[in-house]
Every structure is written in structure tokens, then in C-alpha cells.
Structure 1
Amino acid sequence: MTAPASGSVDAVAGHGSRDVAFPVWVLAGPTLAAWLGASLLTITVGPQWTSMRLDMQLSALAVVWVFLAYLLPALATAAVGFLVGGRWPTALVLPGISLLVLGALLTTFSPGGALLLVARAVTGLGAGLAWGVTAALVRQQPAGRNRTSWAIITGTVLALVVGPLFGALVSMAMSWRLPLLAAVPVAGVAFLAAAVSGIALLVSGDAGNRAR
């Protein structure tokens, strides 16, 4: 029988199991994606939403559906990311970031309310995966968990505030579509960070150890 990797917590009769903690740098990609997802959640609030509503001729109450179309799928995939992301973070967060990009692009070029709702749901699916994976990785940190948690929570709160502020400023100066388009390069950086960390884990053999 192969001995468990150092620092792992193996299954104990009836008590389940937890994975070995990943290095803290593995959090870079998922965390950036989680912050981006938080900013995209609230970016449709305030003057940004007014510009979107007038451009697509939506009712004032449509903001509720636009918000829920994002939040409900995000909560569902966040649960999946939290339950599975501690074992296969890269395999979950890369598709999640891809969904963030697809959703942002669909939202940017939405001609009306129907496609806007679909776009927000797609974006929410990606954001939820990033949130869940990030939470799962933080939970597994053997040291400095509280500091890491507070840093991520602080960044998330800032992202929730910065999203609508940035959207409002750019919307008033140019177009409501540009802030959403600006999410694409940020997601690209998160994708690159997550992919590089995943490759590093494979090369070092850490990913294989955690899958046993």
C-alpha cells in the first residue's frame, strides 16, 4: 500500500477525507477569476444599468431578472466548485474562466433582453466555479488560512464596489458595453495564471498525489 503524502489527512473510519493542501500560489488564477466574477455581478447596478436599459429598451424591473439570472447559476456552480475544486482545481477553474469570457462577450454584444439573460446566466456559471474553487483551496491551506481568507474576502468586497463604479464612469464617458469588454483581458490573465499553476503541479507530480 502506498503511504499517504506528507501533510495529508486520510479517511478515518466514517469520518471522510480531505485532500492535501495545494501550494498557496495555486490560488492566483482562481482568486483573480473570483474577483472578476464578483465585479461582473454588480456591474449592472446604477448608471450602468440605466444605460443598458435604455439602449435595449428594457423595463425598470428587468434589473431583478438580470441580477438573478447571474446569481442563481453562480450559487449552483459555486457548490460544485467547493465540493470538487479541492481535488481538481485547474480542471474546474479553466472552464469557469472560459465561461466568464463567453458571458462577458455575449453581454457586451447583446441586442436585447433575451440574449442578455442568457449571457448573464453563462457568466454566473463561470463566476460560481471560480468562487467555489477558491473557497475549497483556502479551506485546505494548512497555514495562514485566516490571513488568506481575509485577503480574498477584502478583494471580493472591493470588486463588488469597483464593478459598478467602473461601469458607471466608463458608461458616462463612452459606452456601457466597454466595461464588460474590459473583463476579457482580465480573465485572460486569470486563465494564464491557472493554466501555468496547473502545469507546474503536473510537472512536480503534486496533482497526481492529490488524485490518489
Structure 2
Amino acid sequence: MHVTPPPPHVTRPVVEPVWWQVFGPGFAALVGLFMLTVVHRFDGRSALQLDLGLSGQSVLLIVLLPYLVATALAVPVGLLLGARFPTAVTVPAIGFLFLGVLLTAFTPGSGLLLAGRALSGLGTGAAAGAAVALILKLRAGRGVVAGVAAASGALALLLAPVVGRLISDALGFRVSQLAAIPFLLVALIVSAVLGLVKLTAANRRVPPHGVPYPPAGFTGGP
């Protein structure tokens, strides 16, 4: 009796990342870096510090340090998982940034402010780690993409206090925080679209069920 053998197990081929995949986590990381320094000023006390009555030591311990520590803790997660699961890392990172921005914007005191800054730091670290992981896996254009990403990050850190001061002086520090929400929504949409594009491209590389790849050197002849 003829027994039909089971179909061969088909595995998805490993797809190397391409430069455009860096846009999702990279843009989210830029927003996070911007939010890191937007509450500070180069020439004196920030609007956040004045409105909440914080001392210089409190700004260091509640505003800056939690952000930096949370970022440092989340970067390894992005580095480990970001290259393989960029969308799965970036979307929660944007969620953390979103919650952190809201808590910081509507904080009545130091407790929620610390939590908001820590959540924003987690999102920034995870997104930055994922972006770096993708860049390290690139086969073409790695140097160019890395240079653009580094320059953009430095520019975000330097411009944020200037932009934050302009917005805060006119509308208050809370508005300077809420101004990040549209950019986070753009980062979320970009990450979701790029994730769908990557999934579609991966599915096209998988042969139909039960049809294995032809062996190497096969030409289709008898």
C-alpha cells in the first residue's frame, strides 16, 4: 500500500535587515532623546523646575537620573531582540514613551514625575537598542546609516532645550511635553507599516506548503 510521506518541514529563511527598517526604532529613539533634555535649560532654571518648585538636586535625582538609569537598563533588551523582532520591541517602547510623556505633562508633584521620566527612559533605551542592533546587522550602508543616526541623536539632544524653552516660555512646560505625542504617533505608524512590509517580504520567501526548495544545482531537466 502506497503511503504518502508527510510534507517536509519548511522553515523561514533568515532575512537580513535593510536600512529602511531602522526608521521605526530610530525615529522613536530620536523622540526619546529629545524628551531627555527638553525639560532642561542651558542658562538657568527650567520652567518645569520653577512650576513644580524643584531644587537643583531634585532635578538631578527626579528628572535626569531616573531617565538615564531606565535608558541604560532597557538598551540591552533592544540590542538582544531588536534585530530579530524590531516591531515587537519598538511598539512597546513607544507605548512606554507615550505613558511617560503623559505622566510628566500632567504630574502634580515629584512622585508621578519620577515615574514618568523612568517610563520614558525605558522606551528610549529599548528603541535605541533596537536601532543599534539593526544597524550592526546591515550588510550595506552600515557606516552611512550609523553616521546619520548618531548625528541625528546628537542634534536632538542639543536642540531640545532650545525648543523646550521656546514652548515653555509661551505655553508652559506641560505643552512642551504634549508636543511629543504627534511625533510618537508617527513613529508608531511607521513601525507598524515597516513591520507589515517585513512580514510580507518574509512570506514571499517561503515556498508553498509541502513544496520544498529545489536542491542546489537543480535546473529542472530530467
User: What band does the TM-score fall into relative to the shorter chain?
Assistant: 0.7 to 0.9
Structure 1 position 138, deviation (Å)? 0.3
The corresponding residue for 2:129 is 132
Structure-to-structure mapping, 1:1-212, within 5 angstroms: 5=13, 20-46=15-41, 50-65=46-61, 66-205=63-202
**Conserved 8 A contact 2:46-2:165:** no
Counterpart-to-counterpart distance in 2, 1:61 and 1:81: 31
Contact 1:48-1:168 within 8 A present in 2 as well? no
- 1:21: Cα distance to partner? 2.2
Cα shift at 1:50: 2.4
**5+ residue gaps in structure 2?**
1-8, 207-222
How many correspondences in the alignment? 196
- Percent identical among aligned pairs is 37
- 45-54 vs 178-187, greater mean Cα deviation: 45-54
The amino acid of 1:62's aligned partner reads S
Q: Secondary structure at the match of 1:205?
A: helix
Measure the CA separation in 2 of the matches of 1:24 and 1:192: 18
TM-score, L = length of structure 1: 0.86
CA pair 67-171 structure 1, distance change in 2 beyond 3 A: same
Structure 1 residues 104, 149: closer, same or farther in 2, change over 3 A?
same
Question: Which residue of the partner structure matches residue 16 of structure 1?
Answer: none
Q: Mark the runs of 5 or more structure 1 residues left unpaired by the alignment.
A: 9-19
The answer to whether the 8 Å contact 2:12/2:202 transfers is no
8 Å CA contact retained: 1:48, 1:164: no
Conserved 8 A contact 1:70-1:120: yes
Q: Is the radius of gyration larger for structure 1 or structure 2?
A: 2
- SS of the aligned residue for 1:40 comes to helix
Once the two structures are superposed, residues 162-210 of structure 1 have per-residue CA deviations (whole angstroms, 9 ceiling, x without a partner) of 111110111112211111101000010000000001111122226998x
